[in-house]
Each structure stands twice: as structure tokens, then as C-alpha cells.
């Protein structure tokens, strides 16, 4: 039977305007970096997509190299979309990216116009789409002129293959330079995707967070739970089904130090006093000051999505809570 969305799906989600654009993003978005590859359960992927959409998560974030193997997440999402959810395409915000190694040879990586245009064509074919809503350059490329990369994004919008463009992993100075080129071109540049969590504060330290807020650029945060460290999963050590035990590429055993365990234990106590899980509080903290448009969650099962969306309406913190969080994170001695 074809999927039918929950008719009350918009009742509880909040949507934030993305920079100065007309586009609104759900406060919680679903990232398909993990658990949508060729080694994942198709039925579980479907359930996660359905659960997300049923709870007001309209934004599904991909990249050309999400897998394993490269391209698998786009293929799987495209299959779900076209077989089950196509009725709702105009209610959905679909983004993808290019910038990392995708195919052999000199044209399958970084930021040349040839790579960005070819990669998007491949992505659209994998997802069986005419266009994506947001197309990102996934990382800065110091060897390709920034003008070439930004002109490629501009041309892609003019071709109708993307509605808006974004950048990912660009620092404040790189963002400012990209923004100037794109705004001179009248290209709808609206967003930067950066890593941000209680344990990863680079967007504050390099000034990007404040700059983006002051200059009409949205921010979407990835790895908000520090690859699962900011959940209850590691409170008592490393479980056998954890990402560290199963993979170890992005999160390693030495990331869970004695000091880190003490920190997440202290943060977990603060979360419990707020009536939240550690994961919920960590997501709420990112959205506390309205300077981050949306937070990207990853999930391995639908129940995690249902728990994460419970943060809506619970992103305010007292000054005392914020101070205790900074102490727990080792940022105030």
C-alpha cells in the first residue's frame, strides 16, 4: 500500500526562515550520511523517512558520496521517494552536495565546474529528480578559483537543476568571500552547513555563527550529537552495537576518554533535571539562540527520530543551566 502521510504532520514542528530567503527549514532535519547505504535495511530506511515526514521533518539532506558505496544513499532515497512518497515532493526539501572524492581521475573531486555540474547530473539521475532544492559545495577547494566554483553554482541554479545553493565546511572568511560573489550574481545563496555541538564550537570560535546571523545566511548544524557521544549510548562504556565497535572510521575508541565520560555524565545529569535525554538537551542547546536555522539528526531507527523531535518547544535554557553546561564541558573552570 502506498504511504499516506500523517495529516497532523505540521502541528508540532517549528520552521525557521533560512537567512534572508523565502525558504523555511524545519528546526530538525534528517541527514542521510549514515544508515542509508547499500548495507542498510531498505524497510528500516523507509520507516525512518516516513517517521520523519509524519513528524514535520520536511528536509532530507544527502550528498553524492553518502553510502557506502558512493551514491547509495541517493539511490535508496530516490527509490523511497519515487515508489512511496512522490505525492509529497512539493512538501519536501531535498538537498545534496559535491566536493569530496566521487569517481576516479582528476574530474571527480573538489570544486571545478566540470565536477560540480557532472556530479549533480548523476545525483539527479540516482534520485530520479528534475531538480534539488539546495545544492551545496561540500568543502572549500584552495586549488580551484573560488569564482569558478561559485559561477558553477550560479549556472546550476540558472539551469533549473537547483533552486538554492549552499556551502559546507567553509569558515567565516571563505563564507564572506563566497557570499560576495554569489550576491553580486544575484544567486540564491542561503546556507552554510557546519559541524556544531557542545563539544565542537568552531563556528563560534571562527566568528561564522555571528557573521551568518548578521548577514542573512542560514546555518545548519551537522554532527550535533558528536557522532553519538552526546547520547546515553556511551555513558557506561562502548557497547557492541555502537558506531565505534562496528566501524571506527569516523569515531574512534580514544574519542571516549575518561575525561569525556565524566563530561557526558555531568551533562546527562543536567539534561535529566530538564526532563530531557542527553541527546535532546544537546540538540536543544544548538537551537537555543535562533542563530542556527536547523539541526541535522542522523538516525539508525525510527524511534530515535520520534525522540529527537520532542525538543520542539523546549529549546530555552536558564542562565544557570547554560553556565553548568559550560562547566561540564570544561569550558569554565
Q: What is the pLDDT of residue 116?
A: 98
The residues of the chain scoring below 50 in pLDDT are: none
- Report domain extents, the chain: 15-228+278-315
DSSP notation for 200-266: B-HHHHTSHHHHHHHTT-EEEEE-TTGGGTTSGGGTTS--TTSHHHHT-SSS-GGGS-HHHHHHHHH
Cβ 279 vs Cβ 308: under 8 Å:
yes
Bridge partners, 26 (sequence order): 15
Domain 15-228+278-315 fold: TIM Barrel (3.20.20)
Q: Give the Å distances, CA to CA, from 289 to 210, 213, 285, 295.
A: 11, 10, 8, 13
pLDDT at 286: 98
Residue 258: predicted pLDDT = 86
pLDDT of residue 236: 77
- The secondary structure of residue 102, as a DSSP letter, is -
What's the confidence (pLDDT) of residue 234? 85
Per-residue pLDDT at 24: 98
Torsion of CA 165, 168, 172, 174, to 10 degrees: -70
Question: Is the pTM of the predicted complex or chain greater than 0.75?
Answer: yes
pLDDT score of 249: 61
Q: How many CB atoms lie within 10 A of CB 224?
A: 28
Query: What is the pLDDT, as a whole number, of residue 233?
Result: 87
Cell (9 digits) for 51: 517517521
Q: What was the pLDDT predicted at 158?
A: 98
pLDDT score at 256: 77
Q: Which residue has the cell 560540480?
A: 116
Amino acid at each position: 500500500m502506498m504511504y499516506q502521510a500523517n495529516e497532523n504532520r505540521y502541528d508540532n514542528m517549528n520552521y525557521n526562515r533560512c537567512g534572508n530567503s523565502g525558504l523555511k527549514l524545519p528546526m530538525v532535519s534528517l541527514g542521510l550520511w549514515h544508515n542509508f547505504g547499500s548495507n542498510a535495511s531498505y524497510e528500516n530506511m523507509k520507516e525512518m523517512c516516513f517517521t520523519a515526514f509524519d513528524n514535520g521533518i520536511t528536509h532530507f539532506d544527502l550528498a553524492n558520496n553518502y553510502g557506502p558505496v558512493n551514491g547509495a544513499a541517493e539511490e535508496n532515497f530516490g527509490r523511497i521517494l519515487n515508489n512511496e512518497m512522490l505525492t509529497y515532493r512539493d512538501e519536501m526539501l531535498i538537498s545534496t552536495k559535491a566536493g569530496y572524492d566521487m569517481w576516479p581521475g582528476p574530474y571527480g573531486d573538489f570544486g571545478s565546474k566540470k565536477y560540480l555540474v557532472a556530479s549533480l547530473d548523476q545525483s539527479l539521475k540516482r534520485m530520479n529528480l528534475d531538480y534539488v532544492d539546495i545544492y551545496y559545495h561540500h568543502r572549500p577547494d584552495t586549488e580551484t578559483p573560488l569564482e569558478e566554483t561559485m559561477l558553477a553554482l550560479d549556472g546550476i541554479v540558472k539551469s533549473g537543476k537547483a533552486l538554492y545553493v549552499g556551502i559546507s565546511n567553509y569558515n567565516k572568511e571563505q563564507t564572506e568571500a563566497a557570499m560576495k560573489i554569489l550576491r553580486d550574481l544575484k544567486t540564491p545563496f542561503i546556507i552554510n552547513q557546519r559541524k556544531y555541538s557542545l563539544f565542537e564550537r568552531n563556528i563560534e570560535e571562527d566568528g561564522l555563527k555571528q557573521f551568518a546571523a548578521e548577514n542573512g545566511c542560514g546555518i545548519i548544524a551537522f554532527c550535533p550529537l558528536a557522532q553519538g557521544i552526546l547520547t546515553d549510548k556511551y555513558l557506561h562504556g562502548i557497547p557492541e552495537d555502537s558506531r565505534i565497535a562496528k566501524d571506527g572510521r569516523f569515531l574512534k575508541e580514544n574519542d571516549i576518554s575518561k575525561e569525556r565520560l565524566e563530561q557526558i555524565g555531568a551533562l546527562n545529569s543536567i539534561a535529566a533535571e530538564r526532563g530531557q535525554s542527553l541527546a535532546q538537551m544537546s540538540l536543544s542547546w544548538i537551537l537555543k539562540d535562533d542563530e542556527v536555522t536547523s539541526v541535522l539528526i542522523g538516525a539508525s531507527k525510527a524511534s530515535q527520530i520520534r525522540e529527537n523531535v520532542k525538543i520542539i518547544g523546549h529549546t530555552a535554557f536558564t542562565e544557570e543551566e547554560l553556565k553548568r553546561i559550560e562547566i561540564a564541558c570544561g569550558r569554565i573552570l
